[in-house]
Amino acid sequence: MDELVQEVLADAEAWFVGGAVRDELLGRPVVDVDVVCADSEGAARAYARRSGGAPFPLSTEHRSWRVVHPDGRSVDFTPVHGSIESDLARRDFTVNAIALPVAGGEPVDPSGGRDDLQLRLIRAVSESIFEDDPLRLLRAVRLEQELGFRLAPLTDELVRSQAARVADAAGERVLAELERLGPSGFRRLEELGLLAPLGGRVDERLERFDSPDYRLVAVFGDGLRRFPVSNDLKRYARKLLHAEAPANGSAREIHRFRRATEPWSLDALAYVGADELASAVEDARTVEPDGPLVRGDELGLPPGPEIGRLLALIEEERAAGTITTRDEAFALARKAHSE
């Protein structure tokens, strides 16, 4: 797990918990580590001094701390709630409710998480886990996908019965879970009744392009605005949602499409169902000129939208192959301006 944690907490009661323990038992890579102990702040500061990491509080209310290593890995320190057994009883799924003593010894596994690891099942620790935190509804599906597990039958029923609660989870937390899902994960959300309360639906566009942002747009469309998405994702969504398929694969049509959708033209082609034109877009990118034939300040016109219109016209005709030289560009601009 983390030998430095073992050194720092050698004389304290402390346990490795959560996904790190699960992944260790499954033989999966362990990246970020969670530790419960009596003095979370003291442990975090001591660990930071020894590791060269940066400590900061994650939650003042819960007194949890995180130490971030220079390489980006993190170790979280949280106070134990009562006994370790009662602490584990507050967790979400049995495979995440196993504790390994930092000092060594047998795992603490009151809910049978190790058995469920063998059975490859995601099982709720208690019937109240989704009432306690609705985000766990999404986490259940994400764990199914990431681990290749399946919901235990009673947990499957519980998810379906509590599906409407998923809309109560905080938007940024929902988005973080959704970004980690592949196509099968979104289809599973729909099957369990978790997608409709979030305003999403699955159709044939879902698997046309492989990227997390694309899947979010394909599933939620305009409804993506309900989530606290980044400005970059907003721009990406607008490009795809407003895209219109090229009428054909001509240089002019491909240029117009690229002008409206770059730098995400391939994504937009997939979204509008015109994948067969992907090679035309890639070819156009390959022969993209290094610079314009003329600049706006060379047209001899006062600043304004007319300059932009003429430059766009020159750019399009150049892409279509009707002009190739500066003289031809100036002649086209003069003619278009006078009409």
Q: What confidence score (pLDDT) does residue 248 get?
A: 95
Q: Looking at per-residue confidence, does 60 or 133 come out higher?
A: 133
* Share of residues in the chain with pLDDT > 90 (%): 86
Report the CATH number of the 1-113 domain: 3.30.460.10
Residue 1 has pLDDT above 60, yes or no: no
Q: Residue range 46-51: average pLDDT?
A: 90
Q: Cα separation of 15 and 37, whole Å?
A: 7
pLDDT per position as a tens digit, 91-112: 999 999 999 999 888 999 999 9
Residue 282 has pLDDT above 70, yes or no: yes
Q: What is the mean pLDDT of the chain?
A: 94
* Share of residues in the chain with pLDDT > 70 (%): 100
Q: What confidence score (pLDDT) does residue 136 get?
A: 98
∠ CA 43-49-52, nearest 5°, is 120
* DSSP collapsed to 3 states, the chain: CCHHHHHHCCCCCEEEECHHHHHHHHCCCCCCEEEEECCHHHHHHHHHHHHCCEEEEEECCCCEEEEECCCCCEEEEEECCCCHHHHHHCCCEHHHCCEEECCCCCCECCCCHHHHHHHCEECECCCCHHHHCCCHHHHHHHHHHHHCCEECHHHHHHHHHCHHHHHHCCHHHHHHHHCCCCHHHHHHHHHHCCCHHHCCCCCCCCCCCCCHHHHHHHHHHHHHHHCCCCHHHHHHHHHHHCCCCCCCCCHHHHHHHHHHHCCCHHHHHHHCCCHHHHHHHHHHHHCCCCCCCCCHHHCCCCCCHHHHHHHHHHHHHHHHCCCCCHHHHHHHHHHHHHC
Q: Residue range 106-120: average pLDDT?
A: 96
Residue 32 has pLDDT above 70, yes or no: yes
User: 83 exposed, middle or buried (CB, 10 Å; 0-12, 13-18, 19+)?
Assistant: exposed
**Domain 120-202, architecture per CATH:** Orthogonal Bundle (1.10)
pLDDT per position as a tens digit, 233-277: 999 999 999 999 999 999 999 999 999 999 999 999 999 999 999
pTM of the model: 0.88
Q: What confidence score (pLDDT) does residue 125 get?
A: 97
